[in-house]
Amino acid sequence: MKNFYANLFAFLLLWVACVGIVFYKPVNLGLDLRGGVSILLQPDLSYALEQEYQRLSKDLYDKLREERVPVLDVLASKEGIKVELLEDAKIEQVIQKNFPRLEIRERGKGYVLLALKEQEISALREGTISQTIEVLRKRIDELGVVQPVITKVGQDRVLVELPGILDLERAKSVIGKTALLELKLVVDAGSREDLEKKLTPDLELLPSRDNTQWFLVEKTAVITGADLKTAYTSQDEFGRPAVSFELTDEGAKKFGEATEKNIGRALAIVLDKKVISAPVIRSRITSTGQITGQFTLDEAKELAIVLRAGALPTKVDFLQESVIGPSLGRDAIEQGIKAGVLGFVLLALLLLFRYKTAGITANLSIILNALMLWAGMVLLGATLTLPGIAGIILNMGIAVDSNVLIFERVKEELRLGNSIRKAIELGYRRTLSAVFDTHITLLVAALILFQFGSGPVKGFATTLTLGTIASFVSNVYFAKFLLEVLHKLKAFRI
């Protein structure tokens, strides 16, 4: 009797908790139900490879000069690093000792072509994809998008789904901006033709934001976006939108030393290889700075977002983009609700017709199953998608299947002459292994779908996983308790 009241209390408490969660906290809706933006993009891996060669080429040049190797120049490209030698010098030992990631791909008269080893290229590719996804996730979190989907598709593509965002151009602006921030000392400014005559391996030529002016700057940056602690919108001295930033302790130290030594020189603020502004250093600057450049307020906000989130490791190409209106999702929700209600009514009538009062317990367990599933999605912050609605309806069928299996076994025990109480106990005990195996199989399938699927497939897998767990609890534990209640009330018919 004590167990009976404990089960009754647990049953009622679960009902109240689930109903409260369902009615007072909405579930997150996916892109196909809420509307939003879907973008398929591809990081430019060849550009990332070239950037890596650029970085390695400077270190390689310094090391060769340090080892007194007669080197004329070290040039980086997408194919590798070309080392021009004054004579047929041997550099294998220097490469093996200091640059084990590189190997000699080609040797000619007066030059050696170096390239990353195949395993290093694969690691760079994987690292670029992972870093791209991480940076995109930070940027989208800054936008306040609820339950975005950012996932790898195939070998080198990334799918981004933003529920509730309908401004495609703004989404592309935030997602696609490389946001590589560099502060570099200016050597000279003027026309491109004049400055090209002054180019050396240690300098580079960069255009202004509007391409009307050119700057000759040092290749090595004083600080980069990696030295930023945070960035936020502000106003310049004329009240126009600007972006202020704060540096890390290490960045502030480097910036302070560089500005102290170069008072009177112009410092170019370079974003994605374009000079936004080039103010003159008037005094020592340490932990803070400001980026000005005739920004609009929206441009300043977006720049602050991408700077806080960090720079993308490479440029990205937009392969496919689409905007899904909210009306399509509204229609899908309405149709899904109609299908769910109709399906439940038909199931309820069938169970009542086939199993009489025992069918009532099956119907109650199906309702509890649905409530537990929905409450679980809310508590876990899961996203409901159109395939997820299909998963909920499918789960109703799974719940019925378990009830049918149990009820038929109970009827068989009654035909063997057992009492109602004993028939219920034996019926559940002898079907438990089959019900358990069924639910475990579904759970494994759902987890595999979640692991290897993407977007809508994960939505389906989520509802199937939660529904399978809820089905086992409601059909194996509480449905048995409800049959015992019918037996105590002398209303058990099957």
Give the pLDDT of residue 217. Answer: 92
Q: Is residue 132 part of a domain?
A: no
What order of strands is seen across the sheet that includes strand 149-153? 149-153, 157-163, 36-43, 316-324
Give the pLDDT of residue 455. Answer: 61
Task: Say what percent of the chain tops pLDDT 70.
Answer: 95
Give the pLDDT of residue 352. Answer: 86
The answer to whether residue 133 scores a pLDDT higher than 80 is yes
C-alpha span between 487 and 490 (Å, rounded): 5
pLDDT classification of 328: cutoffs 50, 70, 90:
low
Please say whether the beta carbons of 222 and 184 come within 8 A. yes
Give the pLDDT of residue 207. Answer: 92
pLDDT classification of 214: cutoffs 50, 70, 90:
very high
Instruction: Tell whether 21 and 58 lie within a shared domain.
Output: no
pLDDT, tens only, 136-191: 888 787 776 667 778 888 888 888 888 877 777 878 877 777 777 788 999 999 88
Please say whether the beta carbons of 43 and 158 come within 8 A. yes
SS3 state at 238: coil
* Domain final residue pick, 102, 120, 138: 120
54 exposure class (CB count in 10 Å sphere: 0-12, 13-18, 19+): middle
| CA dihedral sign, ordered 142, 231, 235, 297 | negative
Which residues in 355-428 belong to E strands, given as ranges? 383-384
Instruction: Tell whether 212 and 308 lie within a shared domain.
Output: yes
458 exposure class (CB count in 10 Å sphere: 0-12, 13-18, 19+): buried
* Averaged confidence pLDDT in the chain: 82
Q: Which residue has the tokens 């560089």?
A: 258
Q: Which residue has the tokens 């534990």?
A: 477
SS3 state at 291: strand
Task: Say what percent of the chain tops pLDDT 90.
Answer: 2
pLDDT classification of 294: cutoffs 50, 70, 90:
confident
Mean pLDDT of 231-239: 83
Q: Which residue has the higher pLDDT, 309 or 355?
A: 355
Instruction: Tell whether 370 and 457 lie within a shared domain.
Output: yes
Q: Is residue 245 part of a domain?
A: yes
Which DSSP symbol is given to 287?
A: S
How many CA atoms lie within 13 Å of 380's alpha carbon, on the beta-carbon side? 14
Q: Is residue 272 part of a domain?
A: yes
Q: What is the largest CA-CA distance in the chain?
A: 106
DSSP H or E segment with residue 59: helix 45-66
Question: What is the amino acid identity at position 238?
Answer: F
C-alpha span between 84 and 110 (Å, rounded): 6
Q: Is residue 151 part of a domain?
A: no
Instruction: Tell whether 254 and 184 lie within a shared domain.
Output: yes
Token digits of residue 347: 């199931």
pLDDT, tens only, 80-96: 888 888 766 678 888 88
Please say whether the beta carbons of 238 and 291 come within 8 A. no
Mean pLDDT of 21-40: 80
Q: Which residues contact 403 (CB under 8 A, 6 or more apart)?
A: 351, 362, 365, 366, 475, 479
Instruction: Tell whether 312 and 266 lie within a shared domain.
Output: yes
Give the pLDDT of residue 170. Answer: 77
Which DSSP symbol is given to 225?
A: G
Q: Is residue 194 part of a domain?
A: yes
Q: Which residues contact 104 (CB under 8 A, 6 or more apart)?
A: 92, 95, 112, 113, 114
Q: Is residue 30 part of a domain?
A: yes
**Helices 358-380 and 456-472, axial angle in degrees (round to 10):** 130
Q: Total structural domains in the chain?
A: 3
The answer to whether residue 330 scores a pLDDT higher than 80 is no
Give the range of the structural domain holding residue 479, as residue numbers without chain letter.
2-35+326-488
What is the CATH number for 418?
Answer: 1.20.1640.10
> Closest by alpha carbon to 201, among 109, 82, 315?
82
Q: Is residue 225 part of a domain?
A: yes
What is the CATH number for 259?
Answer: 3.30.1360.200
Instruction: Tell whether 282 and 381 lie within a shared domain.
Output: no
34 exposure class (CB count in 10 Å sphere: 0-12, 13-18, 19+): buried
Instruction: Tell whether 467 and 365 lie within a shared domain.
Output: yes
Instruction: Tell whether 350 and 316 lie within a shared domain.
Output: no
φ, ψ (nearest 5 deg) of residue 400: -65, -40
Mean pLDDT of 9-30: 82
Instruction: Tell whether 259 and 350 lie within a shared domain.
Output: no
Instruction: Tell whether 206 and 280 lie within a shared domain.
Output: yes
* Domain final residue pick, 321, 339, 365: 321
Give the pLDDT of residue 88. Answer: 67
C-alpha span between 27 and 29 (Å, rounded): 6
Instruction: Tell whether 87 and 217 lie within a shared domain.
Output: no
Q: Which residues contact 434 (CB under 8 A, 6 or more apart)?
A: 405
Give the pLDDT of residue 454. Answer: 64
Query: pTM value?
Result: 0.63
CA 342, distance to chain mean position in Å, is 37
Q: Is residue 493 part of a domain?
A: no
* Domain final residue pick, 120, 152, 185: 120
Instruction: Tell whether 232 and 94 lie within a shared domain.
Output: no
